[in-house]
Amino acid sequence: MDYVNQRVAQQAAKDPSDIYNGFVTPLNIILAVITLYTTYLLYKPSPPATLPREPPAIVFRTFTPRTLLPYNGTNGMPVFLAVRGRVFDVSSGGNFYGPGGPYENFAGRDASRGLAFHSFAEDMLTKDLDGPLDKLEGLGPEEFESLGGWEDRFLSKYMVVGKLVAQGDA
C-alpha cells in the first residue's frame, strides 16, 4: 500500500502544465480535425453540372399505315400512334402506349376506332395496311365525342409528328 500512496503523491506533486502545454490537448486536437474536415466538405470542388441531352428533332412527315407500324416502341424506336389522320409521338407516355402498356396494341397504328369505342380489341385496328384508311363509318355521336376527347388530350400532351395517309396517297 505504501507504493500506491507514494505514486499518488508523486503524481499530485507534478505541475499540471507539464502534461499538456498550451493548446495541444487531446480535446483541442479532435476539435481541430473535425473543423478541418467540415471545412473541406464545404469547400471541396464539385463535379461540373451536366445538362440533359435534348431528344433528337422530329421532322413532320407523311406516314402510311405500313410505314407507321415500326414506331411501336420496340427495337429502340419511338412510340407513335395516329388519331383521325394525325400522328402523335407518345413516347413520353411509353408506359401506357409502349410494349407492356395497356394501350400497346395502338402503338404504330391508327387508334381512332379503338379509342372511340374504348376498346383494346384487335378487331378495332385496320387489318389491311395497304388499303384505304378507316373512314370511321358506323360511329355514333357518343363515339365521335369520345374520340374528340382523346384527340384533345393527345393535342395537349403530345407532339404531332406527321399525318397518316393511305398507301395510294403517299
pLDDT digits 0-9 by tens, 99-142: 888 888 899 999 999 999 888 888 788 778 888 888 888 889 99
Q: What is the DSSP letter of 103?
A: T
Point out which residues pair with 63 in neighbouring strands.
164
Mean pLDDT of 139-163: 92
Across the beta sheet with 86-89, what order do the strands follow? 61-63, 159-164, 86-89, 80-83
Instruction: Output the pTM of the full model.
Output: 0.65
Average pLDDT along the chain: 86
- For residue 20, pLDDT over 80 is answered with no
High-pLDDT (> 90) share of the chain, %: 38
pLDDT band (50, 70, 90) for residue 162: very high
Give the per-residue pLDDT at 8: 79
